[in-house]
Chains A and B, each alone.
Chain A
Amino acid sequence: DAGVIQSPRHEVTEMGQEVTLRCKPISGHDYLFWYRQTMMRGLELLIYFNNNVPIDDSGMPEDRFSAKMPNASFSTLKIQPSEPRDSAVYFCASSLLAGPYNEQFFGPGTRLTVL
C-alpha cells in the first residue's frame, strides 16, 4: 500500500480564498483523522471520522473549517474563507482498529501558506 496520500503537498493562497485539502487513507482503514501543526500550538486534532461518519469535530477552530468524507477512500478539509492564521501543516492520518493497539498512520502533510 502507498500509505496515506495527501494533496497538494504545498498550497499558497491569498486571504479570503477557498482552500481544499485532500486525503486518501490506507485502504481498509476505518478511522480517518485531520490534524493541524503550528509552531505555537503544536499538533492538534481537528476532526476524526469512523466509517465515513464524523465522530468528534470539537477541534475544528471555527465555522470557516469543514471536513467531509464522502466515501471510505477520500476525505476533504475545506477552509472558506482562508486567513493568514490558518497557515500551518495539515496532516491526515488513518487507523484500522479501535482499542489499545491503534497505530495511526500519518500522511506527509500539506503545508498551507495564506498570504
Chain B
Amino acid sequence: DAKTTQPTSMDCAEGRAANLPCNHSTISGNEYVYWYRQIHSQGPQYIIHGLKNNETNEMASLIITEDRKSSTLILPHATLRDTAVYYCIVRVGNAGNMLTFGGGTRLMVKP
C-alpha cells in the first residue's frame, strides 16, 4: 500500500472549514483514498473514501487531485466535536479489507 504523509497537527476555528491535506505521491491506479477519524477515547470512525472523483457525504468532502498524488478532506463547518485525529489511508480496493493507520493529523477546533 502507498505511504501517506499528513501534517502532525492543525487548528481550525469553530464554524470555519477545516481542510486536511494528505500526500500520497506513490499511489497506484487501483488504490483508493480513505479517511477515518478518532475522537479521544473512542475507536476510529469511517468518514469517506474515493478513487478519482471528488466525493461528498453528510460528514465531509474529499478532493483528489487529477494526478491523484494528493487529496484534501474538507469539513465544511467545523464544530468542537470534530476535534480528533484524522487518518488518511491509501490501499487497494480489494485487499482483504486491511487498513494501515499512519500517524494522522490531530485537528483541534477552537471556539
A residues near B (Cβ < 8 Å) are 4, 31, 33, 42-45, 48, 50, 55-56, 91, 93, 95, 98-109
Seen from chain B, the residues whose Cβ lies within 8 Å of a Cβ on chain A are 32, 36, 38, 41-46, 49, 51, 87, 93-94, 96-104
A-B contact pairs, 27 of them (CB 8 A): A33-B97, A33-B99, A42-B101, A42-B103, A42-B104, A43-B44, A43-B101, A44-B101, A45-B98, A45-B100, A48-B96, A56-B96, A56-B98, A95-B97, A99-B93, A100-B49, A100-B51, A100-B93, A102-B97, A103-B46, A104-B44, A104-B46, A104-B97, A104-B99, A107-B43, A109-B42, A109-B43
A48 engages B98 (CB within 8 Å): yes
* Chain A residues within an 8 Å CB radius of B94: 98-100
CB-CB < 8 A to B103: which residues of A? 42
User: Would you call the interface of chain A mostly helix, strand, loop, or mixed?
Assistant: strand
